[in-house]
Amino acid sequence: MSAPDDRWPRSVYHRGTEPDPRFSLANERTFLAWVRTGLALLAGSAAVDALELPLADAVETALAVVLALAALVTATVAWRSWALTERAMREGRPLPSNPAMAVVLLAVVVAALALALGTLTGG
């Protein structure tokens, strides 16, 4: 097992005291769940780009880009949220909120509206 000073990122592991491993592992599982969500958004982006949908070409392209950007933001925010949560646990501070939830919600709403409107209008 590595010593705390040998682990990366040092900005997280070099602070405070070791929390209960169950909490650190739960934080890691949450991070991985957000990464899976980002991958699902990326897969949705690829599907919108590859499939013939009842949408105008410009709308399909815009939707694919929005979903791909949402995937990027979700993964980036998930990493930051993991680090901030781990640091908060080590320093005995309240846990931060996760702004990735708003990104995913917005991406899903935009995709659902675009697909619903495209289906209703026939593209």
pLDDT in tens, 53-75: 888 898 899 999 999 999 999 99
Residue 76 is part of which domain span?
A: 18-121
Q: Look at residue 66 and tell me if it is in a domain.
A: yes
Query: Is 87 a residue whose pLDDT tops 70?
Result: yes
Q: Is the pLDDT of residue 103 over 70?
A: yes
Asked whether residue 10 is assigned to any structural domain, the reply reads no
**Mean pLDDT lowest among 32-41, 64-73, 92-101, 114-123:** 114-123
Domain membership of residue 1 (yes or no) is: no
Q: What are phi and psi of 109, to 5 degrees?
A: -65, -45
Number of domains in the chain: 1
Please indicate, yes or no, if residue 57 is contained in any of the structural domains. Answer: yes
Q: What is the mean pLDDT of the chain?
A: 90
pLDDT score recorded for residue 100? 80
Above 70 in pLDDT, residue 123? no
- Residue 30 maps to a domain: yes
Burial classification of residue 34, based on how many CB atoms lie within 10 Å of its CB (0-12 exposed, 13-18 middle, 19 or more buried): buried
Domain presence at residue 4 = no
Which one has a higher pLDDT value, 119 or 88?
A: 88
| Residue 1 pLDDT greater than 60, yes or no | no
